[in-house]
Structures are given as C-alpha cells and as structure tokens.
Structure 1
Amino acid sequence: MTDTDQTTPLNPKATVIVAQVFISCLMAFLMTGIFTAIPMQFQPGWVGAWIARWLTAWPIAFVLSLGVGPISFALSTRVLMAARRG
C-alpha cells in the first residue's frame, strides 16, 4: 500500500452504500437468528431455517436501508441542530 492509497479521499456515496451492505447484512443475520431461535428453541433444523430466512431478509433489508438511511441522517441532523440551539 502506498502513501497515496491512504491519502486518496474515498467517494462518500460509495462508502455509504458499502456501509449499508454490511449494516443490512449483519442486522438481518442477527435479527433472523434471534427470531428463528426463539420459537424453534434451537431444535434440529433451526440453523437451516435461520439461513433461509436470512437470505430472504438481507436483500429486503438492504433496499429498505437505502431509503431509511437518508431519512435517518436528516432526522439526526435536525435533532442535533435543535439540541445545539436549545
């Protein structure tokens, strides 16, 4: 890795999209794991059910995060600006 690799600015839009891939993946993975384990109580076959649910949930979570992300950033900016004023 050269010095220019470390000092080259990253594309902010690309960074947000890559972050959304990781965030949606991990959240879908954890949420489907929890909500599969609770009713199945770790019975045989729960891992297969978990993975099937995760593979369904991840793309949905990613698409929704692309819409919710900008709304969340806008809301957090408004809240922080209001807190700064008050």
Structure 2
Amino acid sequence: MYTSKKLVFLAQFFISALMAFLMTGIMGYLHGGLSETWQMDWARSFLTAWPIAFCLSMVVGPIGFKTAMLVLKLLPEGRA
C-alpha cells in the first residue's frame, strides 16, 4: 500500500501541519475568543505545535496503522 518512506514522511508532514493549524486555531478561539491578539497568538501556538506534532506523528503514525490493521484482521469478513 503506502510503503514508500518518502510518501509516509511527506504525508506526516502535511497531516501534522494541518492538524496543528486547525487544533491551535480552534482551541485558541475556544479559550480566548476572537480578541485583537488572537491571530498572533494562533501563529505563535502553531509554530510551536507543528514541530512537536510532526515528531509525535512519526512515532504514533506507525502504531496507528498497525493497530488499524490488527482491528481489521479481527473483524469478520464483510464488516470492514
């Protein structure tokens, strides 16, 4: 399936960027609302969160894929 290391690396790069962008924006909005400093706070949070999210996704991603494959193997045929 997706066995290319370059593909996995690039996908994790984009996935972590999108998740960090969306989560920091949503949580920043929920925490402080749309204040005058919201965009600047969001940018700062995103720049901090993205490298962390990327590193964690490189560890958690393979675990998630292995777990999903295990679950699919355990499901009866036709249920997946």
Q: TM-score, normalised by structure 2?
A: 0.89
Q: CA deviation at 1:40?
A: 1.4
CA distance in 2, matches of 1:80, 1:12: 22
Amino acid at match of 1:40: G
CA distance in 2, matches of 1:84, 1:23: 30
CA distance in 1, matches of 2:25, 2:9: 24
Q: Work out which of the residue numbers 20, 27, 30 in structure 2 matches 1:28.
A: 20
Q: How many residues align?
A: 77
Structure 1: runs of 5 or more not aligned: 1-9
Deviations 1:16-72 (A, max 9, x none): 000000000000000000111112110101000000000000000000000001100
Amino acid at match of 2:21: F
Residue number in structure 2 paired with 1:81: 73
Structure 2: runs of 5 or more not aligned: none
Higher share in helix: 1
| Identical counterparts, % of pairs | 45
Amino acid at match of 2:68: S
Q: CA RMSD in A?
A: 1.8
SS in 1 for 2:75: helix
- 1:68 to 2:60 alignment: yes
Q: Which stretches of structure 1, 4 residues or longer, exceed 4 Å deviation after superposition?
A: none
Which one has the largest radius of gyration? 1
Q: TM-score, normalised by structure 1?
A: 0.83
Residue number in structure 2 paired with 1:43: 35
Q: CA deviation at 1:84?
A: 3.8
